């Protein structure tokens, strides 16, 4: 855990969130500034700053994050109509919190990507 990381503080329960999924490795909660009707953040409990910091030992964890995201898309009712699963890496990508996270975004027709 990184005490300076807002997501680590959510994982520890120090900060509140609208958590919709939690297990031993992953937690998912609603984004406080949603970009669509459904905007969920899926994060590992382990502090991994960015995708560039993923190593071989994280392979199953990354698979778990994607699995949870797809399962949440079904439970949120956006699996059939479509959604985006976005991961940003570094400041030029728009990553604002240095803790690996997936954005699950959907619930209406999304515009074109850049």
Domain-wise residue ranges, the chain: 6-106
Task: Give the global pTM.
Answer: 0.94
Task: Give the separation between CA 62 and CA 49, rounded to whole angstroms.
Answer: 13
**Residue 63 in tokens:** 């698979």
- Per-residue pLDDT band for 55 (boundaries 50, 70, 90) equals very high
Task: Give the mean model confidence (pLDDT) for residues 2-22.
Answer: 95
Give me the catalytic one of 39, 47, 99, 101: 101
**Residue 7 in tokens:** 């997501």
Task: Give the mean model confidence (pLDDT) for residues 44-69.
Answer: 96
Q: Residue 73: what pLDDT?
A: 98
Provide the greatest CA pair distance for the chain. Answer: 39
- Assess contact for 76 and 30: CB atoms under 8 A: no
For 83-101, the pLDDT digits (tens) are 999 999 988 898 999 999 9
Q: Using CA of residue 12, residue 6, residue 98, residue 66, what is the dihedral sign?
A: positive
For residue 13, report the phi and psi dihedrals to the nearest 5 degrees: 90, 0
- Per-residue pLDDT band for 50 (boundaries 50, 70, 90) equals very high
pLDDT over 80 at 6, yes or no: yes
**47 an active-site residue?**
no
Tell me the CATH number of domain 6-106, given options 3.40.50.150, 3.40.50.720, 3.30.830.10, 3.30.428.10: 3.30.428.10
């Amino acid at each position: 855990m990184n005490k300076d990381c807002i997501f680590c503080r959510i994982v520890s329960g120090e900060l509140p969130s609208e958590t919709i999924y939690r297990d031993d490795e992953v937690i998912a909660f609603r984004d406080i500034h949603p970009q669509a009707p459904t905007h969920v953040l899926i994060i590992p409990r382990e502090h991994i700053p960015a995708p560039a910091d993923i190593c071989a030992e994280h392979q199953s964890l990354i698979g778990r994050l994607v699995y949870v995201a797809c399962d949440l898309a079904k439970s949120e009712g956006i699996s059939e109509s479509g959604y985006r699963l976005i991961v940003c890496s570094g400041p030029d990508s728009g990553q604002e919190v240095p803790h690996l996270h997936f954005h699950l975004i959907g619930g209406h027709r999304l515009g074109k990507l850049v």
